Amino acid sequence: MEQSVILETERLFLRKFALQDVDALAAVVGDPVTMEFYPAPLDRQGTADWISRNVQRYQRDGHGLWAMVLRDSGALIGDCGCVVQEVESKNEIEVGYHVRRDLWGNGYATEAARACMEYAFTKLGATRVISMIRPENRSSRRVAEKNGMVREKTIFWRDYDHCIYASDYGQT
């Protein structure tokens, strides 16, 4: 487990997912409220597929969504990470995040996303990082704003309008 830790923050660490995480992650992405802005909550198989997709991303891109773990208890409470997304024919690094619903409002997504932005700039050599957020998703927009991202424009992406929040290296 130790060698799979990617990032540490004051209260969290981010580490690579493994298939053993399926039950803990299902408590996050299987929740219908948490997945309001996605096509549907994920069942156990969908959660396992989510983990597999991210393991493939680690191998292909060197990064992906990582498990968000509380340092105090070792509990997996969500995910956050850097994902390659093709947006308007250009590859971008997106910082994405999900937190178990009973823990919303404690600043965990903001703390993890900020660390991922820094990681993208300093370790991945990114000059720009984005988050794509549905306009109705006010808490996610707030996370981006708290981390100094700027709303650039709205695009139609994967069947829905998405606000592009972006930050350039050295901007925040």
**Residue numbers at the binding site for ligand COA (CB under 6 A):** 34, 37, 97-99, 104-110, 133, 137-140, 142-143
Helix pair angle (44-61, 22-29), 10° resolution: 110
Nearest approach in angstroms of CB 100 to ligand COA is 8
**Pick 3 or 73: Cβ nearer ligand COA:** 73
Please state the three-class secondary structure of the chain as a single string.
CHHHEEEECCCEEEECCCHHHHHHHHHHHCCCCCCCCCCCCCCHHHHHHHHHHHHHHHHHHCCCEEEEEECCCCCEEEEEEEEEEEECCEEEEEEEEEECHHHCCCCHHHHHHHHHHHHHHHCCCCCEEEEEECCCCHHHHHHHHHCCCEEEEEEEECCEEEEEEEEECCCC
**Pick 109 or 166: Cβ nearer ligand COA:** 109
Nearest approach in angstroms of CB 122 to ligand COA is 21
Nearest approach in angstroms of CB 155 to ligand COA is 14
**Pick 67 or 170: Cβ nearer ligand COA:** 67
**Pick 9 or 137: Cβ nearer ligand COA:** 137
**Pick 54 or 110: Cβ nearer ligand COA:** 110
Q: Which residues contact 159 (CB under 8 A, 6 or more apart)?
A: none
Nearest approach in angstroms of CB 148 to ligand COA is 13
Nearest approach in angstroms of CB 125 to ligand COA is 24
